[in-house]
Amino acid sequence: MGLDMYLTGERYFYGARTRGDKKSEQFDLGHWRKHPDLHGFIVQAFADGVDDSRDIPLSAERVREIIGAVTARRLPHTTGFLFGVSAGRLRHDG
């Protein structure tokens, strides 16, 4: 995480496989830049408050929790080096 955050999904293929078979597919589901409040929420809620630039696995339920926090405007005010300030917009319509 940091200046840029990415939301990716991965679909796994289970069952008998042979060498060379595809085991998963990845999907780009979204990305955003410099949203410190969203960043702070995800780190606090799903990474035990530890911000160390690692991947944070998010289940469908966790994504719904994030959507709920954003729409209810329950994101914590978060500051940090390189973050700047959240613009107060919920989404980019352009």
Which structure tokens are listed for 66? Answer: 């994030």
* Residue % of the chain over a pLDDT of 70: 83
Tens digits of residue pLDDT in 30-53: 998 888 999 999 999 999 999 888
pLDDT on residue 58: 93
More confident residue, 69 or 5: 69
> What angle do helix axes 36-46 and 60-71 make, rounded to 10 degrees?
140
Domain boundaries along the sequence of the chain? 1-9+25-82
Enumerate residues 6+ apart whose C-beta is below 8 A from 3: 33, 34, 82
Q: Is 58 left (phi over 0), alpha (psi -120 to 50) or beta?
A: beta
Q: Of the candidates 94, 84, 93, which has an alpha carbon nearest to the alpha carbon of residue 3?
A: 84
pTM of the model: 0.75
